[in-house]
Amino acid sequence: MDVRALARDEREELADLVATLSVGEWNQPSLCASWRVREVVAHVLAYGQLTPRRAAAQLAQGQFLEAINATGVAKYSSSTPERLAGLIRLNLQPIGLTAGFGGRVALVEAMIHQQDIRRPLGLPRSIPPRRLHVALSFTRYAPLIRGAWGTRGVRLEASDLAWAHGTGPIVTGPGESLLMAMAGRPAALDDLSGPGKPRLARLLTQRYE
- CATH classification of the domain holding 164: 3.30.1050
Q: What is the arithmetic mean of pLDDT over 108-120?
A: 97
Q: Are residues 67 and 166 in the same domain?
A: no
Q: Are residues 161 and 189 in the same domain?
A: yes
Lowest mean pLDDT among 53-62, 77-86, 95-104: 53-62
Q: Are residues 109 and 139 in the same domain?
A: no
pLDDT exceeds cutoff 60 at 56 = no
Q: Are residues 45 and 116 in the same domain?
A: yes
Q: Are residues 176 and 82 in the same domain?
A: no
Residue type, 180: M
> Tell me, what's the pLDDT at 57?
47
Q: Are residues 178 and 78 in the same domain?
A: no
Q: Are residues 112 and 135 in the same domain?
A: no
Choose the final residue of a domain: 86, 121, 156. Answer: 121
Q: Are residues 138 and 107 in the same domain?
A: no
> Tell me, what's the pLDDT at 46?
86
Select the more confidently predicted residue: 126 or 77.
126
Give the tens place of pLDDT for each residue, 65-89: 565 567 778 888 889 999 999 999 9
Q: Are residues 73 and 164 in the same domain?
A: no
What backbone torsions phi and psi does residue 193 show, to the nearest 5 degrees? -150, 175
> Tell me, what's the pLDDT at 38?
96
As for how many domains the chain has, the answer is: 2
Q: Are residues 88 and 135 in the same domain?
A: no
8 A C-beta contact, residue 206 and residue 188: no
Q: What percent of the chain has pLDDT over 70?
A: 89
> Tell me, what's the pLDDT at 54?
56
pLDDT exceeds cutoff 50 at 59 = no
Q: Are residues 141 and 111 in the same domain?
A: no
Radius of gyration of the chain (CA): 17
Select the more confidently predicted residue: 1 or 176.
176
Structural domain including 149 reads 129-207
Give the tens place of pLDDT for each residue, 8-47: 999 999 999 999 999 999 999 999 988 999 999 999 998 8
Choose the final residue of a domain: 121, 154, 173. Answer: 121
Choose the final residue of a domain: 65, 96, 121. Answer: 121
Question: CA-to-CA distance for 148 and 183, rounded, in angstroms?
Answer: 10
Q: Are residues 89 and 166 in the same domain?
A: no
Q: What percent of the chain has pLDDT over 90?
A: 76
> Tell me, what's the pLDDT at 17?
98
Burial 47-62 (b: 16+ CB within 10 A, else e): bbbbeeeebeebeeee
Overall pTM surpassing 0.95 (yes/no): no
